[in-house]
Chain A
Amino acid sequence: MSEAIANQPLGNASAPGTTSSLLQVDSLRTVFRQGRREVKAVDGVSFSVARGETLAIVGESGSGKSVTAMSLLRLIPSPPGEIIDGDVFFDGRNLLDMTEDELRDIRGNEIAMIFQEPMTSLNPVLTVRQQLAEPMRVHHKVKEEDIEARCLDLLRQVRIPDPETRLDAYPHQFSGGMRQRVMIAMALACEPRLLIADEPTTALDVTVQAQILELLKDLTRQHGSSMILITHDLGVVARYADRINVMYAGRVVESGTALEIFEQPRHPYTLGLINSMPRLDASEKARLIPIEGQPPDLGNLPPGCPFSPRCPFAVDQCRREDPPLEPYQGQHLKACWVNVDE
């Protein structure tokens, strides 16, 4: 972990087209419409992911973190959803301009996703072998005669014991953690360059969560793939992320390395999140400092900064003008008018 932090790729977050960044997202906007109501689920999000880097997107429910991930691969159900603006450059190609066929070539092949629900993400009537082989067949990555060997290899990589017999089992014969391992094996089948993990361990027990996250860390490192880790759990982020985007009400409010975010949070929301997080290393029955108020109603955001109604530091400007995401120090970005000093 410390090594990963030390090897921070620098100087790519705001320079589009830099060769070192694998994914470059520019002012992405996704809305959901219902009647006259328009909900800005993602509202002008920009970020980049370097090769081999793990970027965490952290936020609470309704912050737009999952919608961001789905928008990258244009997996937003439409209607009611629609990506109305922005660019997503993957290795120089704009995913949002591609035809459906071109995009299909990328999904599951160069960019793979892992979802939250290991119970419903696998098809219950197909064996693990059939499901593992599918991405390889679709993308013609592996010769037909090599598929079986590859499947076994994948199951070994995700440390499923006794892969030969497990290959012909059905999903219901696996426990939750094992299913998530199968999902990871499927995602890795075509050796993707970018892995998007959307709350991969939320449905699992803590001891299993640790196993799965360690596995993801080892495998991405081994293959040199990048990862976008979407989570609400700050603890997970601290352990596994190189860089962090903190999202609130559909926008990135702070972005920086893990150390910057945790040790010098510069946005009041980040600060509030860290203070309100129950900690194992807290003193006994220590009192938490919550963020007051209720989460924002995305269909009816306040003028100015969306966090201003809950923000203890808010000044008049915050209630009038929406702060842009600007560099605070190097690659540490924040969207806040106020200088929060600890």
Chain B
Amino acid sequence: MTTETTPAAVTTRATTTPPLRERLGDNKVLGFIGRLIKQRPMGAFGAAICILLLLTGIFANVIAPEGYNHINPIDRLKPPSAEYWLGTDQLGRDLFARIVHGAQLSVIVAFAATTLSIVISAVIGITSGYFGGRFDMASQRVVDGWMCFPDLIILIVAVSVLGPGTWQVILILGLLFGISGSRIVRSSVLSVKQNIYIHAAQSMGASTLRILVMHILPNVMAPIIVLFTTRLAAVILAESGLSFLGLGIPPPAPSWGGMLSLDGRSYMFQAPWLAIVPGVALTIAVFGINMFGDALRDILDPRMKGAGSGRYVAAVRRDRPSSMRPAGGKAQ
């Protein structure tokens, strides 16, 4: 087969492509945001909270340049005022600064641990689901075994072995959520694997690696993204829980959970804002991420895929006759 082609085709190509691709790119992002706001206003609200959290985390040092551990004994346990927006704690530290830096800590832990967990889930889920057979059997029994233990016990044991600290928390939470999440990835791989285009790729001689990376992974991205957002909230909660129990990130680091536990509980009646403020911050963050995650799941749901012009026609086409099930096919 020659690579010769009609010159006309090539020229039209060259002139029309770049704008088309740009348009497509724009439409996708804008269209997604538009759809989010229109179909899931709560999801858009959640997304706004997530962005706020992210920005707070990134610019913590700009917003609160004095840092989270600036002790000012004169201004101990001040209620919220114009000077200290959210009041101060028993060491006179500005609670606002601590919350802002706590957001940074939460963002770091949440993203690092969730990313780690997603990578673990994807690797276990994709290989186990695609290869099936004995490999699947073996790896799933290991996952079963792991999931038999209550999370809290694993956490306590791991912390007592590794000691408290930020990277330890990230590692433990990543592993914990990664292994349980592999189930979700695996089940979507199992359904994607049934598709004929996978068979087509195999029969054209594509390597296994190519099939996994080019065909399986992009088609399980939707559940992976959804998994990511739901895990994000869970990780923030888990980190707070650990810190609350004293197993997480040790003071003076401004972990929201730790603040709730140490300062909040001790001065609950004298200075209620010490408990209320980190609690509310935690609630808003988790609520926002969950709302966004739910909306994302609804929009990325595989059944809704191929939206736009094709979707509706497809719904009408269910009356279609021979389409998927003509007399000769399937059973073989």
Q: Could you tell me which A residues sit within 8 Å of B by CB distance? A: 32, 34, 37, 39, 41, 61-62, 64-67, 80, 116, 198-199, 202-206, 208-209, 231-233, 297-300
Contacts and interface: CB of A to CB of B under 8 A. Distances in A.
Interface residues on B, range: 10 to 19
Given A64-B316, A202-B321, A299-B312, 19 more contacts: A32-B316, A34-B312, A37-B312, A39-B312, A39-B316, A41-B316, A61-B319, A66-B319, A80-B315, A116-B321, A199-B319, A199-B321, A202-B325, A208-B327, A232-B321, A232-B322, A297-B309, A298-B312, A298-B316
A165 B319 CA distance: 34
B325 A297 contact: no
Nearest to A205: B327
B313 A62 contact: yes
Nearest to B322: A202
Interface string B91-111: 000000000000000000000
B320 interface: yes
Given A61-B320, A61-B321, A202 B313 contact: no
Given A202-B322, A231-B321, A299-B309, A67 B327 contact: no
B321 A204 contact: no
A321 B275 CA distance: 73
Of B311, B313, B315, B323, most A-chain CB atoms within 10 Å: B313
Nearest to B311: A34
Nearest to A296: B313
Contact of A298 (B311, B313, B322, B326): B313
A296 to B, nearest CB: 10
B37 to A, nearest CB: 13
B222 to A, nearest CB: 20
A298 B317 CA distance: 11
B327 A297 contact: no
A65 B313 contact: no
A205 B329 CA distance: 10
Interface of B: 309, 311-313, 315-317, 319-323, 325-328
B319 A65 contact: yes
Contact of A67 (B312, B319, B326): B319
B313 A297 contact: yes
Contacts of A62: 313, 316-317, 320
Contacts of B320: 61-62
Contacts, number: 55
Contacts of B313: 39, 62, 297-299
B307 to A, nearest CB: 9
9 contacts: A32-B315, A39-B316, A66-B319, A199-B319, A202-B321, A202-B326, A203-B325, A208-B327, A297-B309
Of B309, B311, B320, most A-chain CB atoms within 10 Å: B320
A61 B327 contact: no
Contacts of A198: 319
A304 to B, nearest CB: 21
Contacts of B317: 61-62
A232 B322 CA distance: 9
Nearest to B318: A66
A21 to B, nearest CB: 25
Contacts of A202: 321-322, 325-326
B31 to A, nearest CB: 12
Contacts of B311: 34
B312 A61 contact: no
Nearest to B321: A232
A203 B326 CA distance: 6
A202 B321 CA distance: 6
Nearest to B307: A34
5 closest A-B pairs (Cβ-Cβ)? A66-B319, A61-B320, A232-B321, A205-B327, A202-B321
A87 B23 CA distance: 46
Nearest to A65: B319
Contacts of A299: 309, 312-313
A321 to B, nearest CB: 25
A297 B313 CA distance: 7
Nearest to B323: A61
Nearest to A33: B312
Contacts of B316: 32, 39, 41, 62, 64, 67, 298
Of B309, B316, B328, most A-chain CB atoms within 10 Å: B316
Nearest to A68: B319
Nearest to A34: B312
Contacts of A203: 325-327
A202 B312 CA distance: 23
B321 A206 contact: no
A232 B326 CA distance: 12
A298 B309 CA distance: 10
A65 B319 CA distance: 8
Contacts of A209: 327
B30 to A, nearest CB: 16
B40 to A, nearest CB: 13
A39 B312 CA distance: 8
Contacts of A206: 327
A77 to B, nearest CB: 9
Contacts of A32: 312, 315-316
A299 B309 CA distance: 8
A202 B229 CA distance: 44
Contacts of B309: 297, 299-300
